[in-house]
């Protein structure tokens, strides 16, 4: 080959190489999904449950920079929006968890170390830690946050774990941020009748006595501090410590205790202690509220009911609903085995009693709603995989679906004092949404998307069936 031709060919190959490389890059990029970079989201042509009892058919909701800007059937879609086509989809307000441990790491298990004086144990051992703050403990990357969000929870009031006074709560968004995105803080202190292990207060009555002591001492110190600030002459500086100072707003009636109660007796004790000492109280848990429905209806305390329910007995799994009803109807409180030949009859009677007892717990929310009470829901004691199943069981037991949705949304938001920001789908509120392929209260429905302040998440637990039902996701052009 002539030398001049060889040189020309080399120059041509050098010129072609960048073009070929660019073409290969373009082909590879075309095969890979390109993320939509926009601060605007539009869900179009969906069934939007704006609030419990208020439904918009074939409507659109627009979220810009985390805030809802428009909702309705004739809303224009912004040119720069990421669009989720909502044909066959439902949109609900993001759910609110009124008392939660989401994002709060579990404390190390094991036997606590002995102390020299069990009657005067360090505050952390005694469960007296109101100076702790959930904001400093919260981890947005914790699996518990993802598990709640996958179900539709977008907002939660989280508390430190611990004993009688574990610390201050904070209402946070359950988005992707590693740290807390705080809607509200300093508005609640956690409390419970959880006794300390191996030190005082070691019994429920001792916990009650310690509450009285703490409350009165915090009030005394706050009064001394006020007098000293007004006129220090002739006074020694008043005593101060972080724990009593953190509890002082409770003693002054400025901040409520979110008092977690498991039993009817604990509920009665907490209400009595509130009346005696004068602190504001919000009950959480209240799993045996059905036993005190008349008292609760009279006092009307703020409440966040637990979403934990007693597990159904294994022996009942193989029985159909009508058989279970017949077994419960056969219960005889006077049944006693006269001798060993009557043991089978007594066993069946005990099983009937077990079913009836569980039925009361499942119908707890319905019983309290029927008594005219409103409440939020709390996940503190519940397993994430049981939450939705338990809500559906409560509805089946008589809780109206709209009342259940209100407890999950607007009533929970009002309880936390954040209903101006979340709880309904309205312009000006945060873009917290739950997008499903049907009514959330239908067992076969799956959550397709969860939106937290405009940030879109796709639950990991979506099934193939759920993924195939409507809702194409495309960027707007």
Q: What is the DSSP string of 61-122?
A: EEEETTEEEEEETTPPPPTT-EEEE-TT-EEEEPEEEEEE-TT-PPPPPSPPPP-S-GGG--
CATH of domain 34-93+423-477: 2.30.40.10
347: phi then psi, degrees, rounded to nearest 5:
-60, -45
CATH 3.30.1330.90 fits 95-109+122-310+358-422, yes or no: no
Joined tokens for residue 143:
């699996």
Integer angstrom CA distances of residue 343 from 246, 330, 337: 57, 16, 6
Maximum Cα interatomic distance, the chain, rounded to a whole number of Å: 117
Cis omega (within 30 of 0) on the bond before 201?
yes
Its pTM stands at 0.87
What pLDDT does 323 receive? 73
Cα–Cα distance measured from residue 301 to residue 281, given in angstroms and rounded to the nearest whole number = 7
H or E stretch at 183: strand 181-192
The domains of the chain are located at 34-93+423-477, 95-109+122-310+358-422, 315-354
Q: What are residue 156's DSSP bridge partners?
A: 97, 172
Q: How far apart are CA 265 and CA 269, in angstroms?
A: 6
DSSP state of 290: G
**Whole-angstrom distance, CA of residue 254 vs CA of residue 187:** 8
H or E segment to which residue 261 belongs: strand 257-261
Q: What is the mean pLDDT of the chain?
A: 88
Backbone angles phi, psi at 304, to 5 degrees: -125, 110
Q: Quick one: pLDDT at residue 339?
A: 59
Could you read off the pLDDT tens digit of each residue along the chain, which spans 477 residues? 444 444 444 444 444 444 444 445 444 444 555 455 679 999 999 999 999 999 999 999 999 999 999 999 999 999 999 999 999 999 999 999 999 999 999 876 566 778 889 999 999 999 999 999 999 999 999 999 999 999 999 999 999 999 999 999 999 999 998 889 999 999 999 999 999 989 999 999 999 999 999 999 999 999 999 999 999 999 999 999 999 999 999 999 999 999 999 999 999 999 999 999 999 999 999 999 999 999 999 999 999 999 999 998 887 777 777 876 876 787 777 666 665 556 776 677 677 777 788 899 999 999 999 999 999 999 999 999 999 999 999 999 999 999 999 999 999 999 999 999 999 999 999 999 999 999 999 999 999 999 999 999 999 854 433 333 334 444 333
Query: pLDDT by residue (tens digit) across 262-308?
Result: 999 999 999 999 999 999 999 999 999 999 999 999 999 999 999 99
């Amino acid at each position: 080959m002539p030398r001049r031709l060889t040189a020309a060919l080399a120059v041509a190959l050098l010129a072609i190489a960048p073009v070929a490389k660019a073409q290969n890059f373009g082909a590879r990029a075309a095969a890979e999904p390109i993320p939509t970079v926009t601060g605007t989201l539009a869900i179009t042509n969906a069934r939007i449950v704006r609030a419990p009892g208020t439904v918009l058919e074939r409507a659109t909701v627009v979220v810009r920079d985390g805030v809802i800007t428009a909702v309705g059937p004739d809303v224009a879609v912004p040119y720069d929006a990421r669009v989720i086509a909502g044909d066959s989809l439902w949109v609900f307000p993001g759910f609110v968890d009124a008392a939660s441990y989401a994002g709060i790491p579990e404390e190390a298990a094991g036997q606590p170390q002995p102390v020299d004086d069990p009657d005067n144990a360090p505050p952390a051992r005694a469960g007296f830690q109101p100076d702790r703050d959930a904001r400093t403990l919260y981890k947005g990357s914790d699996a518990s946050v993802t598990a709640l969000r996958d179900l539709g929870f977008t907002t939660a009031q989280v508390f430190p774990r611990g004993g009688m006074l574990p610390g201050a709560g904070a209402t946070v968004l359950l988005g992707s941020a590693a740290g807390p995105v705080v809607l509200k803080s300093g508005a609640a202190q956690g409390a419970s009748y959880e006794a300390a292990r191996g030190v005082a207060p070691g019994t429920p009555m001792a916990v009650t006595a310690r509450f009285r002591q703490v409350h009165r001492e915090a009030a005394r110190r706050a009064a001394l501090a006020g007098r000293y600030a007004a006129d220090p002459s002739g006074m020694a500086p008043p005593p101060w410590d972080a724990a009593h100072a953190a509890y002082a707003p409770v003693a002054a009636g400025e901040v409520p205790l979110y008092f977690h109660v498991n039993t009817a007796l604990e509920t009665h004790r907490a209400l009595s202690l509130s009346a005696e000492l004068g602190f504001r109280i919000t009950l959480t848990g209240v799993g045996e509220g059905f036993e005190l429905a008349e008292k609760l209806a009279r006092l009307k305390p703020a409440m966040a009911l637990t979403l934990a329910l007693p597990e159904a007995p294994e022996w009942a799994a193989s029985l159909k609903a009508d058989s279970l009803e017949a077994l419960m109807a056969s219960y005889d409180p006077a049944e006693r085995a006269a001798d060993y030949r009557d043991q089978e009859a007594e066993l069946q009677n005990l099983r009937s009693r077990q079913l009836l007892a569980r039925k009361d717990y499942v119908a707890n929310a319905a019983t309290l709603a029927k008594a005219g009470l409103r409440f939020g829901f709390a996940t503190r004691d519940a397993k994430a995989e049981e939450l939705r199943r338990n809500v559906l069981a409560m509805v089946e037991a008589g809780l109206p679906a709209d009342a259940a949705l209100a407890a999950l949304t607007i009533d929970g938001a009002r309880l936390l004092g954040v209903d101006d920001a979340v709880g309904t789908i309205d312009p000006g509120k945060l873009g917290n949404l739950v997008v499903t392929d049907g009514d959330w209260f239908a067992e076969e429905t799956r959550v397709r998307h969860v939106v937290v302040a405009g940030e879109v998440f796709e639950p990991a637990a979506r099934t193939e069936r759920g993924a195939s039902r409507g809702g194409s996701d495309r960027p707007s052009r």
